[in-house]
Amino acid sequence: MFKFQKEQEIVNIAGVKIGGQPGELPTVLAGTIFYDKHEIVKDVARGLFDRAAAEKLINLQEASAEETGNPHIIHIFGTTPESITRYIDFVAEISEAPFLIDSPEGNVRSHAAEYVSEIGLADKAIYNSINMSINGSEIEALALSDIDSSIILGFNATDSSLQGRMEMLETGAGLLEEGLLSIADRCGIINKLIDPSMTPMGNGAGVALRMTITAKAKWGHPTGSGIHNAPSAWNWLNKKKETDPVLYKICDVGSTCLQQAAAGDFILYGPIEYAPYVFPMAAMSDIMISEAVADLDIEPASRHPVNLLV
Amino acid sequence: MKTIADTWPIVKGDYTVGNPRSRIAVVTLASQINPSPEVALWGSSKTENLGVEKIIVNTISNSNIRYILICGMESRGHLAGNSLLSIHTNGIDKKGRIIGSEGAIPFIENISREAVKRFQQQVVLLDRIGLTDLTEIMKIVRKYKDRGEVYPEEPLVAISQKKRQSTFTLPRSGDIIVSEEFVMDSAAGIVCPTKDF
């Protein structure tokens, strides 16, 4: 393991601290709820769902976080303004944890940004994400909102190399007039969470791991990813899943460790149901990393797994 | 004339191979619909960039395919079906953007303009986005599976080589402290002695 020469920023979002040197803070884990084909969702467009089941899942993640010391974020996924509004209301009612607002559609993200500002929850919300698809109206909506935390995605659709991804954040890589970091500044984003973009294996998934290190060395912002998207998009593994679901789960949950070993500060680990497996897996990595850097003048936080579980 | 590339399908993906000599392939977008062996290739496509590339590569490397049925439900935000139709009609601009696509990030990275042109010339797209009824899909498959002739050119294998060569001079200093003796240059991923630091 190693230590960055560059000072590593620690952001505090609704009480959850993210960032720092490897081994300093426990990895922050975000499980997704209301995701595509989530069985608790009854009406995707309207955002109707089984409230008891959803509450149980959030409690499951909270209990896992409490036990291992890894802070948690609730990753809300919605595809319409109506559904994401309902999801935000529910999550804020059930939990004090910060939450990610995520949608594949810019207008839904914009609506969510506006909505959390209206109801006074912007300080708990993390925008997911500022990426190369952002347009003028989305920038305007985010700038007008009170949100000051966002994931900034290093996806570059024309150049998936390390250089291409870094340039997307820094300069716009010739595809945007300015870099995404600069756009984030214009939108009033203070807490910048860098996501190097987990593309499928065969299309540069591994590059995201190296970019995690590079981005932290260059900017010092907290960095992490949805690394489970690599195994979940792996067709070979998905075929194996039909005969051996445990094998799939091992790869999906186990990918967490790779991102941590590459200095990741946060992980979007996928379905929230996996919390009882992901949190111990992440805690194990955190403990080992913390021990590995013990003589590099890095002090683990009081509620770090190394101080709670061993 | 050779009609199918040696290693067809060239790129892996979420698809099933049926009869490689069939004239029709089926893209089910974000829907999972049971495949038919009467089709050359049958599978989903959820993204407006990598998904589109894969369809093009696996189509132009088999000259037998003359029709592609686009059915199933669109993936929200990504609009893979819309992007496939757009690249077929309009092609790509200088930056690799699919002209006219309404998808979120409709860019092409790994295939050439030549490959796009070949795709435009080789196949006719059958736009039935939203169609999920298997009986109706099979009616279309049976109508087109033997229709027309093989494309009168050999299969085109068009996928750029993985970028594995180094594009920078190896550094002799670092910005990450590994130990008293070694540092690492994060951009290059090179560990070197601290004397060069």
Q: What is the mean pLDDT of residues B53-61?
A: 97
Distance of alpha carbon B83 from alpha carbon B89, whole angstroms? 10
pLDDT at residue B168 tops 70: no
Residue A256 lies in a domain: yes
Best residue in B176, B182, B183 to probe A by mutation, most A CBs within 10 Å?
B176
Distance of alpha carbon B197 from alpha carbon B189, whole angstroms? 15
B193 band by pLDDT with thresholds 50, 70 and 90: confident
Residue-wise pLDDT for A101-155, tens only, equals 999 999 999 999 999 999 999 999 999 999 999 999 999 999 999 999 999 999 9
Tell me, yes or no, if A2 comes closer than 8 A to chain B by beta carbon: yes
Other residues' Cβ atoms within 10 Å of the Cβ of residue B89: 13
Q: Are B176 and A175 within 8 A, CB to CB?
A: no
Best residue in A103, A133, A159 to probe B by mutation, most B CBs within 10 Å?
A133
The number of distinct structural domains making up chain A is 1
Best residue in A2, A35, A134 to probe B by mutation, most B CBs within 10 Å?
A2
- Smallest CA-to-CA distance from A151 within A92, A194, A93 is with A194
Instruction: Give the one of A161, A166, A217 whose C-beta lies nearest to B175's C-beta.
Output: A217
pLDDT at residue A163 tops 60: yes
**Chain B contact set for A217 (CB, 8 A):** 175-176, 186-187
**Chain A contact set for B107 (CB, 8 A):** 157-158, 175
Distance of alpha carbon B108 from alpha carbon B100, whole angstroms? 13
**Chain A contact set for B58 (CB, 8 A):** none
Residue-wise pLDDT for A175-187, tens only, equals 999 999 999 999 9
Do residues A115 and A85 make contact, with C-beta atoms less than 8 angstroms apart? yes
Sign of dihedral through CA atoms A94, A97, A98, A102? Answer: negative
Residue B153 lies in a domain: no
Residue B107 lies in a domain: yes
Do residues A96 and A105 make contact, with C-beta atoms less than 8 angstroms apart? no
Predicted ipTM?
A: 0.81
Question: CA-nearest residue of chain B to A6?
Answer: B175
User: At A227, which amino acid appears?
Assistant: I
Tell me, yes or no, if A283 comes closer than 8 A to chain B by beta carbon: no
Distance of alpha carbon A216 from alpha carbon B176, whole angstroms? 10
Please tell me whether residues B128 and B49 are part of one structural domain: yes
pLDDT at residue B170 tops 80: no
DSSP A15: T
Residue A2 lies in a domain: no
Q: B96 is in which domain, residue-wise? A: 15-144
Q: Give the list of residues 6+ apart from residue A236 with CB closer than 8 angstroms, or none.
A: B12
Cα dihedral A189, A191, A196, A200, rounded to 10, equals -90
Please tell me whether residues B104 and B174 are part of one structural domain: no
Question: CA-nearest residue of chain B to A165?
Answer: B187
**Chain A contact set for B94 (CB, 8 A):** none
Q: Are B50 and A199 within 8 A, CB to CB?
A: yes
Residue A133, sorted as left (phi over 0), alpha (psi -120 to 50) or beta, turns out to be alpha
DSSP A33: E
CA B30 to chain CA mean position, Å: 15
C-alpha angle A96-A99-A100 in degrees, rounded to nearest 5: 180
For residue A292, the distance in angstroms to the closest alpha carbon of chain B comes to 10
Q: Are A160 and B49 within 8 A, CB to CB?
A: no
Residue-wise pLDDT for A217-260, tens only, equals 999 999 999 999 999 999 999 999 999 999 999 999 999 999 99
Sign of dihedral through CA atoms B31, B36, B38, B41? Answer: positive
Residue B38 lies in a domain: yes
Residue A5 lies in a domain: no
pLDDT of residue B183: 86
- Smallest CA-to-CA distance from A189 within A232, A143, A234 is with A143
The number of distinct structural domains making up chain B is 2
Instruction: Give the one of B13, B96, B184 whose C-beta lies nearest to A2's C-beta.
Output: B184
Question: CA-nearest residue of chain A to B78?
Answer: A104
pLDDT of residue A272: 98
For residue B56, the distance in angstroms to the closest alpha carbon of chain A comes to 16
Cα dihedral B15, B17, B23, B28, rounded to 10, equals -20
Rounded to a whole number of angstroms, the distance between the first and last alpha carbons of chain B is 60
Distance of alpha carbon B157 from alpha carbon B155, whole angstroms? 6
Tell me, yes or no, if A201 comes closer than 8 A to chain B by beta carbon: no
Distance of alpha carbon B189 from alpha carbon B171, whole angstroms? 9
Residue B160 lies in a domain: no
pLDDT of residue B192: 76
- The pTM of the whole model exceeds 0.80: yes
Residue B28 lies in a domain: yes
CATH of the domain at A215: 3.20.20.20
Q: Are A217 and B186 within 8 A, CB to CB?
A: yes
Q: Rounded mean pLDDT of chain B?
A: 91
Please tell me whether residues B138 and B182 are part of one structural domain: no
- Smallest CA-to-CA distance from B145 within B3, B38, B9, B27 is with B38
Do residues A198 and A208 make contact, with C-beta atoms less than 8 angstroms apart? yes
DSSP sequence for B81-116: HHHHHHHHHH-B-TTSBBTT--SSS-B--SS-HHHH
Structure tokens at B52: 């589109």
Residue-wise pLDDT for A59-113, tens only, equals 999 999 999 999 999 999 999 999 999 999 999 999 999 999 999 999 999 999 9
Q: Are A3 and B108 within 8 A, CB to CB?
A: no
Give me the percent of chain A exceeding a pLDDT of 70. 100
Residue A278 lies in a domain: yes
Residue B161 lies in a domain: no
**Chain A contact set for B109 (CB, 8 A):** 157-160
pLDDT of residue A284: 98
pLDDT at residue A164 tops 90: yes
Residue A77, sorted as left (phi over 0), alpha (psi -120 to 50) or beta, turns out to be beta
DSSP sequence for B147-195: -SPPPSS------PPP--S--SPPPS--SEE-SSSEEEETTTTEEEEGG
Please tell me whether residues B54 and B96 are part of one structural domain: yes
Restricting to A residues 224-243, those with a Cβ less than 8 Å away from any Cβ of B are: 235-236, 238
DSSP sequence for A96-114: -S-EEEE-SSHHHHHHHHH
Residue B164 buriedness (CB in 10 A; 0-12 / 13-18 / 19+):
exposed
B167 band by pLDDT with thresholds 50, 70 and 90: low
Residue-wise pLDDT for A253-309, tens only, equals 999 999 999 999 999 999 999 999 999 999 999 999 999 999 898 999 999 999 999
Query: How many cross-chain Cβ pairs, A to B, lie less than 8 Å apart?
Result: 81
Q: Rounded mean pLDDT of chain A?
A: 96
Please tell me whether residues B139 and B173 are part of one structural domain: no
A160 band by pLDDT with thresholds 50, 70 and 90: very high
